[in-house]
């Protein structure tokens, strides 16, 4: 019996923050630190406590070298009251597409999102 259609939905793994999303996250974190942590930098323990994510997952997110579950990125962004959009992450092996390149993409591909995960 196959387990593909029964049980929990599949986690969308392999998401890495784009450079712009990473900068946005850092700025939001600095604002949070200033407002709620007396200007002191949050420790890994603080980030783990705030997000519920493991230190290992946080290290993957901040290092941007290994992908994580899309839900993990969303959770971390929610901590700092920012929203994660489709343009804020990519999967390893896919390349980021800047706005100049997007304008050159043919009309034929408009129906297909550039960086989306298949729905399960």
**29-56 per-position pLDDT tens digit:** 999 999 999 999 999 999 999 999 999 9
Query: Are the C-beta atoms of residues 15 and 89 closer than 8 Å to each other?
Result: yes
pLDDT at 101 over 90: no
- Domains of the chain are 16-99 (1.10.260)
**2-37 per-position pLDDT tens digit:** 455 566 666 667 999 999 999 999 999 999 999 999
From CA 107, how far away is CA 21, in angstroms rounded?
A: 26
Supply the mean pLDDT for the chain. 80
Strand partners, 89: 17
pLDDT at 117 over 80: no
pLDDT at 84 over 60: yes
What percentage of the chain exceeds 70 in pLDDT? 68
From CA 66, how far away is CA 78, in angstroms rounded?
A: 21
pLDDT mean over 69-91: 96
pLDDT at 80 over 60: yes
């Amino acid at each position: 019996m196959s387990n593909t259609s029964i049980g929990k939905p599949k986690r969308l793994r392999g998401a890495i923050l784009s450079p712009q999303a990473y900068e946005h996250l850092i700025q939001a974190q600095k604002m949070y630190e200033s407002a709620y942590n007396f200007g002191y930098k949050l420790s890994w323990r603080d980030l783990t406590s705030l997000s519920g994510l493991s230190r290992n997952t946080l290290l993957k997110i901040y290092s941007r070298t290994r992908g994580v579950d899309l839900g993990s990125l969303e959770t971390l962004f929610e901590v700092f009251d920012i929203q994660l959009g489709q343009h804020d992450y990519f999967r390893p092996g896919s390349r980021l597409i800047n706005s100049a390149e997007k304008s050159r993409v043919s009309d034929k591909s408009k129906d297909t999102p550039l960086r989306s995960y298949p729905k399960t």
